[in-house]
Structure 1
């Protein structure tokens, strides 16, 4: 039974360590996306064109 307590306590310590590492990575900006905003403007026209085509198809289907 003492082995279970030892394993649970070690797993909690490891989980807390991973959580602290995750919070630190988020605060330092590791997950910030610097690339997508710069290329999003290149694909805006395609998204607008697709949306307008879908809207036209939906309105044509309605009686």
Structure 2
């Protein structure tokens, strides 16, 4: 008796959260953030022999980056 309304309420809350994240731009550019992690920043275990490409950072300038 109670489970169906609770399930509908949980579904509505999930749908509202999804729509809010879409409107906030959470899913706008999925490829940029994924490619930033592959860039070599010069620190860490990779040795830092190559600097991070400036073009890639400018293309992804709307993405918040750790350490900036």
TM-score, with length taken from structure 2: 0.44
Identify, as 1 or 2, the structure richer in helix: 1
Q: Which has the higher contact order (CA 8 A, sep 6+)?
A: 2
